[in-house]
Homo-oligomer: A and B are copies of this chain.
Amino acid sequence: MIRVGIIGATGYAGGELVRLLMGHKGAEILWYGSRSYIDKKYADVYRNMFELVDDKCLDDNMEELADQVDVIFTATPQGFCASVLNEEILSKTKIIDLSADFRIKDVSVYEKWYGIEHKSPQFIEEAVYGLCEVNREDIKKARLIANPGCYTTCSILTAYPLAKEGIIDMSTLIVDAKSGTSGAGRGTKLSNLYCEVNENIKAYGVAVHRHTPEIEEQLGYASGEKVLINFTPHLVPMNRGILVTEYASLKKEAAYESIKAIYDKYYKDETFVRVLDADVCPETKWVEGSNYVDINFKIDSRTNRIIMMGAMDNLVKGAAGQAVQNMNLMFGIRESEGLELVPMFP
């Protein structure tokens, strides 16, 4: 039994970790960390857990936790994990960090986009970027996982095969992304209020959103060149789901079948990536509650561009689900354990 500790268990991603791990046969949660709710019953914070979780919330004490558990999930704001991590902790337990602290290899890029000083840059090199379908083998051996961002997971997986195979002109790549509101977290901000979000759509963070350099770095590895993109996130009035619509010029004319073959080459054997049938557009509802990413594309011969689309549940494959998938890989158990949830419709 993998002993699990969660720091930040009362955010939406933390709550989703709890939901998923309760259906996981090889893991048990020993520590529900939540600085805001110390000593409060977890089920009083998330009442869906009434009669299912009896534990109280505990403090965010990484050192103590490291002695008790086999893996710590940090579902915490940027900067937290970097500020408390040390070699002793890492020598005792594995860390899966759901924040951005160890996602970006160039610390100056991190500090520029996030506007904070990185407190433990010495662990950046060791950290493995936990995009399972891309870095599976490295993940298996890792002590420290940088769990990818929600937008980035969807954005990267949707374009990855074509970037890797050199099919698209990376300098033309544009990612227009749409996210449900749980991606904004459980903070009590005006912009998160029901009446501000409902019946509304807007772009935000235009040209400055922090997931931009993460996508650029990873697609840069894939394509073997420096990548600069436009990434525009939008807030959509729904709880869950991310849809990305990506545009790029084809380096040369391509037929549907050849592109489909490339996607299949990379994803045919992937449990959690589903390349849809021709002309079927991904919809977030078809993956809700599950760890799937649905992907498809359309070639526009008029403009010689390809439109790539990906849909995903931001709290599952975009956060907690991928984190569990990483845990499974790190501990050598079945990769899909605890993640075989059928999408819920409607």
> Interface on A for B, CB 8 Å cutoff?
12, 15, 19, 22-23, 46-52, 172, 174, 176, 178, 180-182, 186, 188-190, 192-204, 206-207, 228-230, 232, 234, 236-241, 243, 245, 247, 274, 276, 280-290, 294, 298-300, 302-303, 305, 307, 309, 311, 340-346
In the complex the two chains form, is B303's CB within 8 Å of A196's CB? no
In the assembled complex, the CB of A262 is this many whole angstroms from the nearest CB of chain B, namely 18
- Give the oligomeric copy count: 4
In the complex the two chains form, is B194's CB within 8 Å of A192's CB? yes
Q: A47-B286, A194-B181 are contacts. A203–B346 as well, Cβ < 8 Å? A: no
Taking CB atoms, residues of chain B closer than 8 Å to A294 are: 47, 50
Select from chain B the residue with minimum beta-carbon distance to A301: B207
A176-B232, A178-B236, A186-B195 known; 7 new pairs, CB 8 Å cut-off, are A174-B247, A176-B176, A200-B241, A200-B285, A206-B281, A230-B247, A237-B237
Taking CB atoms, residues of chain B closer than 8 Å to A238 are: 198-201, 237
In the complex the two chains form, is A243's CB within 8 Å of B186's CB? no
A119 to B49, CA, bound (A): 44
In the complex the two chains form, is A199's CB within 8 Å of B342's CB? no
Q: A19-B342, A230-B303 are contacts. A198–B298 as well, Cβ < 8 Å? A: no
In the assembled complex, the CB of A302 is this many whole angstroms from the nearest CB of chain B, namely 5
Select from chain B the residue with minimum beta-carbon distance to A216: B302
Q: A186-B195, A190-B188, A247-B230 are contacts. A48–B202 as well, Cβ < 8 Å? A: no
Taking CB atoms, residues of chain B closer than 8 Å to A12 are: 195, 346
In the complex the two chains form, is A47's CB within 8 Å of B190's CB? no
Taking CB atoms, residues of chain B closer than 8 Å to A342 are: 19, 22-23, 48-49, 52
A302 to B209, CA, bound (A): 13
In the complex the two chains form, is B284's CB within 8 Å of A200's CB? yes
Taking CB atoms, residues of chain B closer than 8 Å to A346 are: 12, 182, 195-196, 198-199, 239-240
In the complex the two chains form, is B181's CB within 8 Å of A195's CB? yes
In the complex the two chains form, is B202's CB within 8 Å of A243's CB? yes
A86 to B207, CA, bound (A): 51
Select from chain B the residue with minimum beta-carbon distance to A288: B199
In the assembled complex, the CB of A22 is this many whole angstroms from the nearest CB of chain B, namely 5
